[in-house]
Amino acid sequence: MKLGIVQTVFSLQPNITSLFGPHLSSDALIVPPTTPDFPAQLQQRWTDVNAPSYDLGAIKPATEDDVQSIVKIASDNSLPFFVIGGGHGISNYSTFGGLAIDMGGFKSVSFSDDKSRLTIGGSVKIFQLIKPLFDAGRELPLGSCECVGVVGATLGGGIGGLQGERGLLLDALESVNIVTSKGKLVEASASNNKELFWALRGAGSNFGIVTSATYKLPKISNDGMYMNADFLFPAAANRSFFEILKATEKEMSSKLAINAVAAYNRQVGAPMLAVNAIYYGPMSEGRKLVESFEKMQPMMSNVTMVPAWDIIDAAFFRSFGQDNGACTPNQHINIYSVVLRQIHTPTFESFFGQLVRFWDDHPSFQGRWLMQRYATDGPLATADEASAYGHRHAKMYMNFEGFYEDRSLDDDVNEFWTSAREAFTKTGGYGRLSVYPNYARGDEGAEAWYGESLPRLQEVKQKYDPEGLFSVHNPIPLRQPHRDLV
């Protein structure tokens, strides 16, 4: 009897090869769920926490026509689908069990003749642009993790160290080619489909599949040489460090970016604070801006000039090794996040003490606390209403990142990270939970992701995706249709 039920369930699943195959190009790849080692053929996800399953298999389109056909056929047959780009998202997709659309074939990188424009495919990752941009004498405000998908990062905002000078990554976006829920390929830009272009810049995953994106490129800062400053402090220095962060609220150079990590060094049995400060200009200017860190008498320090193509690898004394977990797929990484509009030092100090105790009580826990303090000059040079992105005023982006293999820690970690998120929300200056969409866990809600842009986003969502086909990642809730009272 049980075998019969199982056979019936599998018989109800569509044969994606026969359903999609006749309508796709010869270079498209269809991967049924029964394929050996499935889904190893797909772009792997960074973390296995709340990962999706692809019960219907996967398709790797090779052309824009392929993408159009896939969306049309999936929609006509009521097949839920999930779009895979860089694979670095951390949101909760645990309830998804449909079809994967892996955009891994869209990897083109093309500069305009004068190098002032860049057009890339929908799955290009940051590492693929670092050297070409440098060689072209140009730069983009890319993030600090080289394996993140560029388009995906753009659609959620695109924060990064250069944002003080260059704005957000989405501010550099000029146009996209996107396949909508109707299977139509359209261009969205400041002059075409303006409403859609507004919504894409901050909530883009809700409106379609971006096959290519074009960016405007400013000339590279300081001839491509940046100052990289690394400092390592003992736990006892935490108050002084947090006071320095607080001081940046009053004055912070648009050329300065600060990344910091609180972590536990199990080899020496002690918590530590590591700081990476980047100045996108000459040493003579940048050195003055990190004097406050040097006066704290760090355990280790290194201040040097590095070429732009090396800035990601150079950070944190190069001690983050190959990637220190930032790019290794299928790890068990349990992450919560919060955005702050103000830095309340007592909250930082209190949480650091709690974190030290949590490390002591959980010896197998390798969690870390990531703090990203980026200048707001660039983001605020663009009006809030110019795009759907809702966090231009943010002073601090924070991740509570739990790296561990012992799944029995999940409940304790979830409880601890949740309490941390609540504490920082209370003093963070927004009056509510606020979360950077690209760092979203998925349980925060649309208001936390999109802020005051949400009502307008709902209108655009109703127009371009009324059936909610693109509602797996950080979904914009569709408004209920009005019904006449009887």
User: Does residue 444 lie in a domain region?
Assistant: no
Burial of 27 (0-12, 13-18, 19+ CB in 10 A): exposed
Q: How far apart are alpha carbons 72 and 15 in whole angstroms? A: 16
Phi, psi of 335 (to 5 degrees): -120, 135
Q: Taking phi first (over 0 means left), then psi (-120 to 50 degrees means alpha), and beta for anything else, what does residue 277 get? A: beta
Q: Could you tell me if 349 and 293 lie in one domain?
A: yes
Strand pairing class (270-279; 256-265): antiparallel
259 and 322 in a single domain? The answer is yes
Q: What is the rounded CA–CA span in Å between residue 343 and residue 395?
A: 7
CATH of the domain at 50: 3.30.43.10
Do the domain assignments include residue 200? yes
449 domain residue, yes or no: no
The rounded distance, in Å, linking the Cα atoms of 116 and 98 is 40
Whether 90 and 134 map to the same domain: the answer is no
Structural domain count, the chain: 3
Per-residue pLDDT tens, the chain, 486 aa: give them. Answer: 344 433 334 446 899 999 999 999 999 999 999 999 888 888 888 889 998 999 999 999 999 999 999 999 999 999 999 999 988 888 889 999 999 999 999 999 999 999 999 999 999 999 999 999 999 999 999 999 999 999 999 999 999 999 999 999 999 999 999 999 999 999 999 999 999 999 999 999 999 999 999 999 999 999 999 999 999 999 999 999 999 999 999 999 999 999 999 999 988 899 999 999 999 999 999 999 999 999 999 999 999 999 999 999 999 999 754 456 778 888 899 999 999 999 999 999 999 999 999 999 999 999 999 999 999 999 999 999 999 999 999 999 999 999 999 999 999 999 999 999 999 999 999 999 999 999 999 999 999 999 999 999 999 999 999 999 999 999 999 986 543 332
My answer on whether 310 and 357 are in the same domain is yes
Residue that the structure tokens 């409940």 belong to: 411
C-alpha to C-alpha distances, 60 to 22, 67, 85, 100, 101, nearest whole angstrom: 14, 9, 11, 8, 6
Kindly write down the DSSP assignment for every residue of 443-483, as one continuous string.
SS-HHHHHGGGHHHHHHHHHHH-TT-TT-SSSPPPPPPPP-
- Residues 145 and 165: their CA atoms lie apart, in Å, by 19
> Tokens 């690209």, residue?
438
* CATH number, position 283: 3.40.462.20
Domain assignment of residue 452, yes or no: no
Domain hosting residue 39, numbered range = 16-102
Whether 195 contacts 460, CB under 8 Å: yes
- Pick the last residue of a domain from 196, 216, 236: 216
- For residues 290 and 205, membership in a common domain is answered with no
Identify whether residues 365 and 427 lie together within a single domain.
yes
> Do 53 and 181 sit in the same domain of this protein?
no
- Whole-angstrom Cα distance, residue 154 to residue 383? 17
Specify whether 191 is located in the same domain as 115: yes
**Would you state the pLDDT for residue 324?**
60
Nearest to 156 by CA among 433, 376, 453: 453
| CATH number of domain containing 181 | 3.30.465.10
pTM for the complete prediction?
A: 0.94
- Please check whether residue 451 lies inside any domain of the structure: no
Last residue of a domain, one of 164, 188, 216: 216
Do 61 and 131 belong to one domain? no
Helices then strands, counting H and E runs in the chain, come out as 16, 16
Residues 272 and 207 in one domain: no
Q: Are strands 270-279 and 209-216 parallel, antiparallel or unpaired?
A: unpaired
Give the end of a domain, one of 184, 216, 248.
Answer: 216
- Let me know whether 361 and 382 are in one domain: yes
Q: How far apart are CA 303 and CA 444, in angstroms?
A: 39
133 in a domain, yes or no? yes
Spell out a b/e string for 350-362, using b for 16 or more CB atoms within 10 Å of the CB, else e: ebbeebbebbeeb
Could you tell me if 240 and 246 are in contact, meaning their C-beta atoms sit under 8 angstroms apart?
no
One domain, residues 191 and 86: no
Coil, helix or strand at residue 41: coil
Residue 458 forms part of a structural domain: no
At residue 480, the pLDDT reads 64
The pairing of beta strand 57-60 with beta strand 99-102 = parallel
Please give the pLDDT value at position 323.
Answer: 53
Inter-residue contact 66 to 73 (CB < 8 Å): no
457 falls within a domain = no
